Structure 1
Amino acid sequence: MIDKKVKNKNNFFWIYAVILAIFLGIFFFKTSFSNPRKIDQDTFFKILVKGEVQKIIVKHREIVYVYLKKEFLSSNNFLNSNYSLKNNNSYKFITNPLQYEFEIGDLQFFQKKFEEYKNKYKLDTLIDFKNQQEYTLTKFFFDYGIFLILFVLFWMFIFRKIGAAGGGAGGQIFNIGKSRAKLFDENDNVKITFKDVAGLEGAKEEVQEIVEFLKSPQKYTKLGGKIPKGALLIGPPGTGKTLLAKAVAGEARVPFFSLSGSDFVEMFVGVGASRVRDLFEKAKEKSPCMIFIDEIDAIGRARGKSSIAGSNDERENTLNQLLTEMDGFGTHTNVIVLAATNRSDILDKALLRPGRFDRTIIVDPPELNERKEIFRVHLKNLILSDKVDIDFLARQTPGFSGADIANICNESALIAARKNRPKIYHQDFLDAIDRIIGGLEKKSKIIKPNEKKRIAYHEAGHATISWLLEHAAPLVKVTIVPRGKSLGSAWYLPEERQLTTLEQMKDEICALLAGRSAEEIIFNSISTGALNDLERVTKQAQSMVVIFGLNNKIGNISYYDSAGQNEFSFTKPYSERTAQIIDEEVSKIIEEEYQRAKNLLKKNKDKLSMLANQLLDKEVIFREDLKKIFGKRPFSDDIEDILTINHHALS
């Protein structure tokens, strides 16, 4: 198929090349053999007295064209004659009677002299006067035809390019309004199925049912039900929305059109709406079928929210056409639209209503068991060591999407290959997670001894408080090796929970403030190293007061706007007095937890120093090192057994 396209393309190239060569040849022939040669008046009169001139034409009272008699064009006398023409020592055989031209100064003087020569030598040469430009069709073609042909060829080439960009057959410009959707049917070898989609059980169940609607619609319509017209996949990036659509294409035995929302966008007015119409016309011809529109927010953004009048008219026209095609007057076809987006909050309400997108399928980041399944899918083709613990890796990656897990597996293989290992070990996965979360280690970065000591106590403070508090996330490891933008970092294993209590949020804030608290206790001063901690603490405290209603003074009030309307407003949804109370309560929460962290660290100052010195010595310490210093954590749970892993042994 590719060879045929290339061959057709080459054929068009050679056709254009041959046509261009022909007209260039005509042009040069005309230039070389048809243009008259310039002479002066004296030379003309020498030719005139020989009786070879049939006529002369005086144009615009200043240029004279000399036409020779036919017998002198082909005779040897003409070919061998020499009139001492300037810059012309040889003649070419030419049948055009127009041979010479010259300029005159005074027309009356020239005409008088011409008549004298004509009477003296008894010549029959004629003289004519032409003061207006004359063009025959032939002369016009010879003068300007080549340029017209080149102009036409140029625009034919441009139209073919534009037509090809429009996606139409034959490369015509009129196909720019045709749909760019790619069609998958039973003849296409789509290898991805629902077996390749790990996790996402709820989303898979709903999508599988949509496929069943298309395969056997009578099963659902015999009781009077109607087949849904659309389903919208909503979820963060990388959670597997497009993968689900690929699985639908692999499972469905019906035509499947796939395209992106940006494929409707074009600089030409009306092209987007035209492509929508063409897409649904093709779908209706192959009904029952399915249409998948990825990133539908490119054309489905809510109307009327643009600050510039008229700036989104073309996009709105495209959206209006899509709304009409999905559920307009007289739309009764078995065409189901499957769309995906990670920005559902900005979609137009008319697009989300039942009758267009009847089902909204939420594709959340995978839970613990789902992450295990995703790891198993991506580890199939990797050469692994027997000590790789998939359960631990799944627990170590809370909040990771399927794309993130795929990246971890690939990065671990690259790390193992970089170390010339025959297999991928557990430590390679941990290094891959560390690199993706924190960035690349910068062991060559020069840090002063006093700064390194401060960093060690800062990280030891985090580790100490997280060990002593019940609801703080369990520690995995602590390092003072610079990584990414951070000078030191600690890895925790946050508990996966659906609800968070006030005590849990306070413990998290206290653990985040422990680094600065340790600096103040040991060095009697604080530094800028707690920037990231303070940012997270401030957001956490604000959410407690403003969003979750966990503050007694503000009460059970939430200023959270799930519809996203406040982002377009310049006013706050509360008064200035309430804003002042919010600021005071946020500051109060942070200050209370800061003092709490200081008090705990003062009680365990000796253990804090032991941990910091061990960090300075080893640079990286693990959970078992904290157990040796602090003893068993007083708040044990099921996670403890999983986290008790000797990382060095596994590597």
Structure 2
Amino acid sequence: MAAKKSPKKPFNFYWIYAIVGVALISLNLFNWQGGNSVITPSEFESMVVNGEVNEVVIVNHKTAKVYLNPEALENEPHNKKIKSPSFGMPAAGPHYTFEIGSGDVFDADLKTWSKDYDLKYKYTTEEDWFGGILSLLLPILIFVGIWYFIMKRMSGGAGGAGGQIFNIGKSKAQLFDKEKGTNVTFEDVAGLEGAKEEVQEIVDFLKKPQKYTDLGAKIPRGALLVGPPGTGKTLLARAVAGEAKVPFYSLSGSDFVEMFVGVGASRVRDLFKQAKDKAPSIIFIDEIDAIGRARGKGMAQGSNDERENTLNQLLTEMDGFGTNTGVIVLAATNRADVLDRALVRPGRFDRQIHVDLPEVHERKEIFKVHLKPLKTDDSIDIDFLAKQTPGFSGADIANICNEAALIAARHDKKKVSKQDFLDAVDRVVGGLEKKNKLISDHEKKTIAFHEAGHAAVSWLVKYANPLIKVTIIPRGRSLGAAWYLPEERQITTTEQLVDEMCAALGGRAAEEVMFGKISTGALSDLEKVTKQAYAMVSVYGLNDKIGNRSYYDSSGQSDYSFSKPYSDKTAELIDNEVSALIETSYKRTVQILKDNKDKLILLAEKLLEKEVIFRDDLEAIFGKSMFEDELIAEKKVSKKAEAIIEQAEVLEAETEVANPTTEDKKVDDTTADENNA
């Protein structure tokens, strides 16, 4: 088998610059006619008197070139001063040079010396061609070099498409193919089973297109990955690049944006041209909202024409008058609501793949991936870690695993333990622990009762989130915190929302019950309660006076409007209902704490003593939760209902197979008649 010839490297013009530079240096450093030294006129006169000079040449009436006798060249000091250009050969000269002073005086001396010492002399005129050319070309070369440097910087740097000013309209996409692929595969993408399945199908479209086209199906033009930040959209695309055996072009939406007009549209055209030439292929545009925002929605009309031109070109390339066969476009964004409607319509982005925050079983799989490189001990329970991190994205989990390893290394541990992970969760959620923060005894007591109020109310109401621990150690911007484990539910009832509001108001209510005055420490609690109350009244339709109405705009168009979708009278009614809802919940919370004031004091004293208390401490003071059995029964009922629904769906499907509908029978009868005919 013949060896593959290595591809020829392109000629680098910098070699020409290097050769010219070496030549100039050589002309200045080496004298090819022999070395010469600079002497003074008095030294020249002594040489003439000693009979050592054979001839002197006066150039341009300024410089004198001295040629010695062969006998003088062999004697000291001339044989050491004068350099020979070749081994064993005498230097041809001139051997010495000097600058003459007054021309008339030197001419008279020459005439005298020529008579007395038989000295030969002559006058010549020489033109410095090299110096003249250099003086002419040097400013031009400097100007060209500065222009070349500025144009290279303006065009985005050297190398590849866009490296020169004439290639600025070329695409900056990074190409991944069989030779140059990523190391990420679908095995590295934990969780996201639904999204991963759809993306795998897209890869299958390009690998086996005939499987689908034989049935008359059309390959989708594009798929849009939508989800919150950190859920793995870009990682999913990298896995596609690693798995697909087709060319994969990857770039960001901001790569189309440039300071020159028309560059974005030109880069879109060049990108799709490259992709069509190597079809079947995949184009991945990360953060597509940089160029895909809805047109005509900006405050200053006409200021975003360049971005809109880029978007128009993208729309045309994806589904325009021309054909776009064999190219699938993947895009990712966490702001799908701001994208232009023409971009997300069927025919362009045929599919929207939602990459949501992982559920508990998906978080477990993500933990398994990120725990592989860590050295952990036997105390690590992945199920426990997955349950302790509700609402965490894949990036958050990766950050927690890294923080746990850093904490373990900080304490000189050989392996990462369960406590390190718990500390990492506290660090990521609450911030860095501030041990040197100065807090007075009165403030510390207020913080303790505030946090004890949260814990007590969450224990004494039915639907509040289960408590994990309470701490009065300052972290980040908070002086204390109550940590809960939110239940992962898909829908929430009014009673559950009201109980959560009471738990959030427990801190301020405890201050009023114990001290008769309130402080500014409930800022975050009031912010949460106010947003939740407004959502209940104006979004979810959970208020009797407002009724079954929602003023939520899922299209995002209301963001660009100055008017509200309801009248001023309705706005006043919403404000009144929100105020009434919050104040009613606050009065209920105060009453709960008054009824359990002695237990609240015990809990706060224990918190002042230990600084951190857990669920077991609350159970020791308040006893077992009176609603625990009811909640367990409700969960059992819901699980039983889900099982009944699943059984009914399976039974219905089996019935349809066994007993076809009337329309199916008509079709079967028609087919049978045709066969008989």
Contact 1:291 1:336 in 2 (8 A): yes
Q: Deviations over 1:55-110 (max 9, x none)?
A: xxxxxxxxxxxx989xx99999xx999773699999999843799xxxxxxxxxxx
2:246 pairs with 246, 254, 263, which one?
254
When structure 1 is superposed on structure 2, of 426-435 and 324-333 the one drifting more is 324-333
Whether 2:445 is the aligned partner of 1:445: answer: no
* 1:183 partner SS: strand
When structure 1 is superposed on structure 2, of 159-168 and 317-326 the one drifting more is 159-168
* 1:407 partner SS: helix
The Cα RMSD (Å) is: 3.4
* 2:356 partner SS: coil
Give matches, 1:536-615, under 5 Å: 536-615=528-607
Q: Deviations over 1:285-333 (max 9, x none)?
A: 1111111111111111111112223321111111111111111112141
Task: Report the number of matched residues.
Answer: 558
Whether 2:114 is the aligned partner of 1:96: answer: no
Per-residue deviation, 1:218: 0.5
Q: Taking structure 1 as the reference length, what is the TM-score of the superposition? A: 0.79
Contact 1:166 1:178 in 2 (8 A): no
When structure 1 is superposed on structure 2, of 192-201 and 615-624 the one drifting more is 192-201
- Counterpart Cα distance in 2 of 1:568 and 1:382: 48
Contact 1:477 1:492 in 2 (8 A): yes
Number of the residue aligned with 2:78: none
- Counterpart Cα distance in 1 of 2:445 and 2:243: 59
Whether 2:127 is the aligned partner of 1:144: answer: no
Per-residue deviation, 1:635: 1.9
Contact 1:167 1:176 in 2 (8 A): no
- Counterpart Cα distance in 2 of 1:93 and 1:26: 26
CA distance change for structure 1 residues 429 and 334 in 2, over 3 Å: closer, same or farther? same
Q: Deviations over 1:99-132 (max 9, x none)?
A: 9xxxxxxxxxxxxxxxxxxxxxxxxxxxxxxxxx
* 2:448 partner SS: helix
Number of the residue aligned with 1:499: 491
CA distance change for structure 1 residues 223 and 607 in 2, over 3 Å: closer, same or farther? same
Number of the residue aligned with 1:433: 425
When structure 1 is superposed on structure 2, of 233-242 and 328-337 the one drifting more is 328-337
Contact 1:24 1:146 in 2 (8 A): no
Contact 2:100 2:106 in 1 (8 A): no
1:225 pairs with 217, 227, 232, which one?
217
Whether 2:362 is the aligned partner of 1:360: answer: no
CA distance change for structure 1 residues 75 and 322 in 2, over 3 Å: closer, same or farther? same
Whether 2:381 is the aligned partner of 1:395: answer: no
- Tell me the percent identity: 64
- Counterpart Cα distance in 1 of 2:600 and 2:464: 17
The unaligned stretches of length 5 or more in structure 2 are 1-5, 30-58, 69-96, 111-120, 633-677
Number of the residue aligned with 1:84: 102
Number of the residue aligned with 2:169: 177
Q: Taking structure 2 as the reference length, what is the TM-score of the superposition? A: 0.76
Contact 2:228 2:334 in 1 (8 A): yes
Give matches, 1:292-303, under 5 Å: 292-303=284-295
Give matches, 1:330-345, under 5 Å: 330-345=322-337
* 2:628 partner SS: coil
- Counterpart Cα distance in 2 of 1:434 and 1:295: 31
Amino acid at match of 1:84: S
Number of the residue aligned with 2:260: 268
When structure 1 is superposed on structure 2, of 224-233 and 390-399 the one drifting more is 390-399
* 1:424 partner SS: coil
CA distance change for structure 1 residues 637 and 312 in 2, over 3 Å: closer, same or farther? farther
CA distance change for structure 1 residues 637 and 365 in 2, over 3 Å: closer, same or farther? farther
Give matches, 1:50-199, under 5 Å: 84=102, 95-96=124-125, 141=133, 144-161=136-153, 165=157, 168=160, 171-199=163-191
Give matches, 1:266-345, under 5 Å: 266-345=258-337
- Counterpart Cα distance in 1 of 2:536 and 2:399: 34
- Counterpart Cα distance in 2 of 1:570 and 1:166: 47
- Counterpart Cα distance in 1 of 2:162 and 2:499: 67
Contact 1:290 1:335 in 2 (8 A): yes
Per-residue deviation, 1:141: 4.8
* 2:342 partner SS: helix
Number of the residue aligned with 2:17: 16
* 2:168 partner SS: helix
Contact 2:317 2:324 in 1 (8 A): no
- Counterpart Cα distance in 2 of 1:371 and 1:608: 36
* 1:352 partner SS: coil
- Counterpart Cα distance in 1 of 2:599 and 2:122: 112
Number of the residue aligned with 2:367: 375
Number of the residue aligned with 1:57: none
Contact 2:161 2:172 in 1 (8 A): no
Amino acid at match of 2:145: L
- Counterpart Cα distance in 2 of 1:491 and 1:86: 105
CA distance change for structure 1 residues 414 and 638 in 2, over 3 Å: closer, same or farther? farther
CA distance change for structure 1 residues 220 and 599 in 2, over 3 Å: closer, same or farther? same
Contact 1:167 1:180 in 2 (8 A): no
* 1:351 partner SS: coil
Per-residue deviation, 1:395: 1.4
CA distance change for structure 1 residues 475 and 75 in 2, over 3 Å: closer, same or farther? closer
Q: Deviations over 1:446-465 (max 9, x none)?
A: 11111111110000000000
Number of the residue aligned with 1:104: none
Amino acid at match of 1:626: L
Per-residue deviation, 1:190: 2.5
CA distance change for structure 1 residues 442 and 249 in 2, over 3 Å: closer, same or farther? same
2:195 pairs with 198, 203, 210, which one?
203
- Counterpart Cα distance in 2 of 1:505 and 1:259: 43
